[in-house]
Amino acid sequence: MLTGSATVEPQATELQCSRKSCTEGAVWQLLWNNPKIHDTERRKIWLACDEHREFLADFLSSRAFLKEIQPLSR
């Protein structure tokens, strides 16, 4: 049983780079899909900081998954 009033304040969360172990804020979005399993119009999104943008883009491009890179608008 709960007594009194409890208020949960929403916490602002910074969007984080998708690179494993990176904790930097994201400034880019990499739009991609896997044509073997996704509809041609579907876009999945990975987020990237400036440092990992090229690494993630190369990974997706080498598999022919990368469709577009856009600045992250907040």
Does a structural domain hold residue 53?
yes
Q: What is the pLDDT of residue 57?
A: 99
Any domain includes 55: yes
Give Cβ neighbours of residue 43 (< 8 Å, ≥ 6 apart). 31, 32, 33, 67, 68
Alpha-carbon distances of 29 from 4, 15, 17, 36, 38, rounded to whole Å = 43, 10, 9, 22, 18
Q: What is the pLDDT of residue 28?
A: 99
One digit per residue, the tens of pLDDT, for the chain of length 74 reads 555 555 555 555 789 999 999 999 999 999 999 999 989 999 999 999 999 999 999 999 999 999 999 999 86
Residue 16 belongs to a domain: no
Domain hosting residue 61, numbered range? 28-71
The mean pLDDT of the chain is: 89
Domain tally, the chain: 1
In a domain, 21, yes or no: no
